[in-house]
Chains A and B, each alone.
Chain A
Amino acid sequence: MLTRISHRSKILCNAYSTVSRPLDPWNSLISSDTRINQYGDRILSGTTYIAKDNIVTKDGVTTSASHMLSNYHSPFNATVIELLADNGSSLIGKSNLDEFGMGSSTTNTYYGPTINPQDNDEKRISGGSSGGSAAAVAAGLATFSLGTDTGGSIRLPASYCGVIGLKPTYGRISRWGVVPYAQTLDTVGIIGKDVDVIEKVYETLNKYDKKDPTSMTTKVRSLVRNTFDEKLIIGIPEEFIIEELDESTKEQWLHYINGLKSLGHDFKVVSIPSIKKSLSTYYTLATAEAASNLSRYDGVRYGFTEDEIQPSASDLITSNRSDSLGLEVQRRIILGNYTLSSVSGDHYLRATKVRQELVNEFNDVFKLPHVLLEDIEKVKSNKCDLLISPTSMGKPPTIKEYTENNDKNFLNSYLNDILTVPSSLAGLPSISVPMKDGSGLQLMSQYGDDELLFRITRQLLTL
């Protein structure tokens, strides 16, 4: 039984509990469990994990950090939860997030912000939206955690909290049971300190799921190719060399580039012009999809509902939503509904076209073919095996700085996403690896070439 720890006084202890309830001064968890997995001989036996609270579990509540779902009990488990249970891992908690995944700070949450465990002196943000998952792993509460990444929601908090965060190729890991934010972009990913653990968990979850209509099919899985070359050509997209990057982050980036050079890899600067349009494209698509996906939260069948009798069904729905969805969520719903309304023109369609251009431009810089787009025998020599960039502009701001900045103009908090959104739009596998200054380094590879990321992460960790 998962128990809310931070916000509900009652804590249930199981007779056969073998782990103690994790101490969580960082507010990284929304609820926790004390039971351990009964399988002792499976590939993940002995590991514990924390799932982002937008992944449904039969035990306890699945809140998506929203007042709307604060009482929601799912009758079923997400596929990823089932797979991890079958493979011996123990779910010991559900982590805090930006409500429904909307944010990059884990401050937009009904349960209060998650504090970054990296810095005990100043209260810094953990990044988001999987801030609770990154913070919990950084604080050593579990072996690994699951997060979701729509536009950087795993990579950014991993980068801020000094841990590794993997966003796999879109469709590799089942989304059945994942509360959707923008499902053309949503992916489930893994956060951990140890790349071997992340790879093992990835192998466990990397399965076709017939329940998820967007799951990568068995056929596509058999067609995708991996990079096996020892010496790689690594591209530096010039659109990522931006003014807003902290000096220390730029220096660290260069440090790791030089390190990889010393290991024998070649580097080249490449151009992906549509990256410049990717932020507006992302916010057009993601908010439109979110407005649609969140329409079901009307408090009629489940979730928050007003105590007072309302004069009509539509009054009930209106007040249920207005009173239980957070400010940022309401903002994105309104933005999305504007995009979809007939008065706004065809923004959604145009954003989809820019996205297509971006996909093609990314594809042009990679050596391996994109199995969904072209002849799978086609290998473009002289092109890149991997792309590299920072994950964030720099170190995480303090909660105070972040909130003030956001209050001035909410668009400020959207800007950081420029580094992570492009590979989300293109559905490419990406990983964030901690750099020494407290920010992260992002590696991106061709569609389906997830395994290359583990190999190069291991090399980075030696530098």
Chain B
Amino acid sequence: MVVLKRLFHSSSNLLLASKHTFQLDPNYKFKCGIEIHTQLKTKYKLFSLSKTSFNESPNTNISYFDIGLPGSQPKLNPEALLLALKAAVALDCDISLQSKFDRKHYFYPDQPLGYQITQFYHPLAKEGRLELDKKFDDIRQDSKIIGIEQIQIEQDTGKLNYNKVDNIINIDYNRSNTPLIELVTKPDFEDLLQVRAFVKKYQSLVRHLNICTGDLETGAIRVDVNISVNGFPRIEIKNLSSHSEIQDALKYEYTRQVSLIKQGKQNEIVQETRGWDGDKTTSLRLKENSVEYRYLPDAELPMVNLDESIINDVKQSLSEFPEQILSKLINQPFNLELKYARFFIDNPVVLQYYYDLYDIVTIKNKESVNMVNNWLLHELIGVFTKLDLKLDLDRIPASKLGDLIMFITSKQISTTSARLLLMQMIENKDNFDKSVSELIELYDLGVPTDISPQEFDEAVEEICHGIISDNADVVEKIKHGQKKSIKYLVGLAMRETQGKVNAKTFEDKLQEIINTL
């Protein structure tokens, strides 16, 4: 579901703050590559027919092969292959028409087979790229290409849950055999912004193509980084689960290595794997103690043989890429701010809603696109935020919001009343099936139409006089130049009339009367 906070709480201030405290030293060259594990959004697991599951009771979605029962055998899920191909095509990779599966051996309780099925000798795709562009991505350079070494399909493991109270490890195999792709970049990153921009762009891409939920927090995407300074041995930092962890771990590790070099202790920089504990990196494993994975071609799984035409077919099947859509949205006729355009990319359902609403309001009814942008992004989403509800567009179809906007532009309802009504439309389930005009009637929010313009004018005048005589002090202020205080009086008038009268009408009338005093 859509997390609205992302839209309204920008982290850019934090980022600015940290930019000031951390800087790369030009004398110490930062070089970095990353590895990303991405859970594919398939219905079933990679080599079995149990469902992929998240947040379900432990060990409820497992089949014989997922837990390595004797005599069970794997069968490749073609949906996983298709999603992996989409990612590979989207990242401009060379697709191998023949790829194979291999076994990578190591013992661990979350690894039921004693090996992971992966693609070591003949991966699905190689030599791809993702271009970062200053227009869309937060980088210093105008553009930067990050090379992609390879993409391979592999199995996820189970999960260990440590019960520290009873000193027990519980194992949940629901995640076991969930399809992953592992993507390895070339060591092309020159600074931390590029790392952040790349991961963000990748998240957005896999979300948009419906390959993965794209979330770091849930572990759907997991990042390992490799960093070396001035060509000294590279250090791997494993399992970073948020952007800030990635940034903090890289900063820490860069600073640590630079300080070792400065102290002449560069021989202490050895190729190793380190972990991030929230404050610092600590050594997990030196290279000479690295795991001997004893790779073996899996003899049961047949070679994946692809027809040459599949690359084009997959390309055709991919919708517009995020960057193309972003570019479209931030320009005429939509004129959206980049952050809102990004929000749409990450939430395809909202994007479609936006297009539908645009179609109704601007294309069909020739009203300003600003109405569309404002009523979707500020008013509608604002209501969900105020009500502390998850964004659920099923509560108000685009056609209905479009109707409401048309009532506003034709001045049949004031903006204030429309806001109140929108709140009711979303909050109250009884209202879901009622049309906008029925609701206006029900809540008596329409601009009064059953009285003559003269009577209406008299009524407005009467209300204004009343307010002015009750608020002599405010009137004094206005007369002495505090022009904005008139808004307070308008507010009182609106409250009195429950917003049925346009605020502008009141403002004009109040001003008119005050001018005569």
Chain A interfacial positions (CB closer than 8 Å to B): 55-56, 62, 64, 69, 72, 74-76, 78, 175-180, 183-184, 210-214, 288-289, 291-292, 294-298, 300-302, 313-314, 316-317, 337, 340-342, 348
Contact = CB atoms under 8 A, between A and B. Distances in A.
Given A313-B169, A314-B107, A212 B73 contact: yes
A425 to B, nearest CB: 13
Contacts of A317: 107, 109
Interface centre among B69, B109, B171, B302 (most CB of A within 10 A): B69
A341 B115 CA distance: 14
Given A298-B114, A301-B112, A341-B292, A289 B299 contact: yes
Given A76-B64, A298-B107, 10 more contacts: A69-B70, A75-B69, A76-B69, A177-B71, A295-B114, A296-B112, A298-B109, A300-B109, A301-B171, A314-B107
Contacts of A75: 64, 69
B486 interface: no
Interface string B159-198: 0100000000101010000000000000000000000000
The 6 closest A-B CB pairs, nearest first, are: A295-B114, A340-B294, A296-B68, A177-B71, A184-B299, A179-B70
A341 B107 CA distance: 15
Interface centre among B70, B109, B292 (most CB of A within 10 A): B70
B25 interface: no
Contacts of A302: 69
A56 B72 CA distance: 10
A213 B302 CA distance: 7
Interface string B69-112: 11111110000000000000000000000000001010111001
B467 interface: no
B227 interface: no
A342 B292 contact: yes
Contacts of B74: 213
B350 to A, nearest CB: 42
Contact of B71 (A56, A288, A297, A301): A56
Contacts of A295: 105, 107, 113-115
B65 to A, nearest CB: 10
Contacts of A178: 71
Given A213-B301, A292-B103, A340-B105, A78 B296 contact: no
Interface in B295-336: 295-296, 299-302
Interface in B48-79: 64, 67-75
Interface string B236-272: 0000000000000000000000000000000000000
Given A295-B115, A301-B112, A289 B296 contact: yes
Contacts of A56: 70-71
B71 A74 contact: yes
Contact of B300 (A213, A294, A348): A213
Contacts of A211: 73, 75
B105 A292 contact: yes
Nearest to B114: A295
A246 B73 CA distance: 42
A337 B67 CA distance: 22
A340 B295 contact: yes
B296 A292 contact: yes
A329 to B, nearest CB: 14
Contact of B69 (A64, A74, A212, A337): A74
5 contacts: A74-B71, A177-B71, A213-B302, A296-B114, A301-B68
A78 B160 CA distance: 31
Nearest to A211: B73
Contact of B113 (A72, A78, A212, A296): A296
Nearest to A55: B71
A236 B224 CA distance: 60
A176 B299 contact: no
Nearest to A76: B64
Contacts of A291: 105, 294
Nearest to B64: A76
Q: Is the interface of B mostly helix, strand, loop or mixed?
A: loop
Contacts of B300: 183, 213-214
Contacts of B302: 213
Contacts of A341: 292, 294
A283 B55 CA distance: 45
A183 B300 CA distance: 7
Nearest to B68: A296
Contacts of A180: 71
A7 to B, nearest CB: 19
B322 to A, nearest CB: 37
A313 B112 contact: no
Contacts of B67: 301
Contacts of B107: 295, 298, 314, 317
Nearest to A338: B294
A211 B160 CA distance: 30
A317 B111 CA distance: 12
Contacts of B71: 55-56, 62, 74, 76, 78, 175-180
Contacts of A74: 69-71
Contacts of A288: 296
Contacts of A78: 71
B70 A348 contact: no
Nearest to A217: B302
Given A295-B105, A313-B109, A72 B68 contact: no
Interface string B285-297: 0000000101110
A62 B70 contact: yes
Interface in B147-167: 160
A314 B110 CA distance: 11
A302 B108 CA distance: 15
Contacts of A298: 107, 109, 114
Interface centre among B73, B75, B107 (most CB of A within 10 A): B73
Contacts of A314: 107-108
Contacts of B75: 210-211, 213
Contacts of B112: 296, 300-301
A370 B298 CA distance: 24
A388 B23 CA distance: 78
A69 B71 CA distance: 13
Nearest to A178: B71
Contacts of B296: 288-289, 292, 340, 348
A78 B301 CA distance: 19
Interface centre among A74, A78, A296, A313 (most CB of B within 10 A): A296
Contacts of A313: 108-109, 160, 169
Contacts of B301: 213
A411 to B, nearest CB: 23
Contacts of B103: 292
Interface in B214-232: none
Nearest to B167: A309
Contacts of A69: 70
Contacts of B64: 75-76
Contacts of A177: 71-72
Nearest to A179: B70
A386 B74 CA distance: 35
A421 B67 CA distance: 32
Nearest to A344: B294
B54 to A, nearest CB: 22
A296 to B, nearest CB: 4
Contacts of B295: 340
A183 B103 CA distance: 14
B88 to A, nearest CB: 23
B101 to A, nearest CB: 11
B305 to A, nearest CB: 14
Interface centre among B64, B71, B75, B301 (most CB of A within 10 A): B71
Nearest to B105: A295
Interface in B1-39: none
Contacts of A176: 71-73
A337 B294 CA distance: 7
Nearest to A175: B73
A298 B106 CA distance: 11
Contacts of A289: 296, 299
